[in-house]
Amino acid sequence: MPVPDRPAYHLYRWLWGSLDLLFPPLCGGCGRRGSNWCTDCDGQVNKIQYPICDICGQPRKVSGLCFHCSDDKPSFTKLRSWALYKGPVREAIRNLKYRRNVSLGLVLSNPLVKLFCDLCWDVDMILPVPLGVARLKERGYNQAVLIARPLALNIDIPCETQGLHRVRETRSQVGLTLNQRRDNVRNAFKATKEIVSNRRILVVDDVATSSATLDACASALLEAGAEDVSCLTIARTSEQF
């Protein structure tokens, strides 16, 4: 499927681009002045290479299912990511998430547009992984929305930020074992039946680590009647759980 060309997306891009006139952009990966994403950083991206696990997309030595997916299948049908969470990609995501460089949402959505078009998935709706109320208030924005919205405009699929809610705060997944991560996010999400019922959903997030969060989102969506759930993230960690 070729990368589409949507007027709404160009308007969104133009609005963000006009901010660059007021605040000259710095590269999200290395901080160099001139553009939001420089060619040096682009050349250092560790793109996910096949073979990968057919379900969770974890890089492997052979295709098929990884140990975790064959042992305990996740609720989502597929998860794919653009790159490993390393180097300039890691830096750009941290700048988007923790340092308020919100224009990087648009920059980081571009490779997801290409990835989505290459995958040729049939989906009806895009849902960003929601933050809890307290975290959203503290940060002021949800980085997953900033990635999902330009992706949705570009591929002309609605982005529904009300389709999924985080019903309780969860602690950071950093430093937790796989079982602790699953416990941490279990029943943390609730989906809106009227929005997701009988729909094929694409859940979008910035990083997948153990995929426990995406699994919990998919469970909530299927429980509310979603037909199918697949997931896309910018990056994934290379550690095995």
The residue ranges that bind Zn ion (CB under 5 A) are 27, 29-30, 38, 41, 53, 55-56, 66, 69
> Which H helix or E strand runs over 11?
helix 7-22
Question: Judged by CB, which is closer to Zn ion: 29, or 163?
Answer: 29
200: left (phi over 0), alpha (psi -120 to 50) or beta: beta
CB of 213 to Zn ion, least distance (A): 15
Q: Work out the end-to-end distance of the chain between its first and last CA atoms, rounded to an integer number of angstroms.
A: 33
Minimum distance from CB of 218 to Zn ion (Å)? 14
Shortest Å, Cβ 88 to Zn ion:
6
Nearest residue (CB) to Zn ion, 152 versus 229:
229
CA distance 69 to 63: 12
Label residue 213 exposed, middle or buried (CB < 10 Å: 0-12, 13-18, 19+). Answer: buried
**5 vs 23, beta carbon nearer Zn ion:** 23
Q: Max alpha carbon distance in the chain (Å)?
A: 53
Strand positions, DSSP E, the chain: 78-84, 125-128, 164-166, 189-191, 200-208, 228-236
What's the min distance (Å) between Cβ of 156 and Zn ion?
Answer: 30
Report in angstroms how near the CB of residue 192 gets to Zn ion at its nearest: 28
Residue number with CB closer to Zn ion (65 or 117): 65
**Closer residue to Zn ion in complex, CB, 202/214:** 214
Is-cis flag, bond preceding 51, omega within 30? Answer: yes
Q: Are 149 and 169 in contact (CB under 8 A)?
A: no
CB of 55 vs Zn ion, minimal distance in Å:
5
Shorter beta-carbon distance to Zn ion: residue 53 or 113: 53
Residue 189, by phi and psi: left (phi above 0), alpha (psi -120 to 50) or beta?
A: beta
Distance, CA of 37 to CA of 28 (rounded, Å) = 6
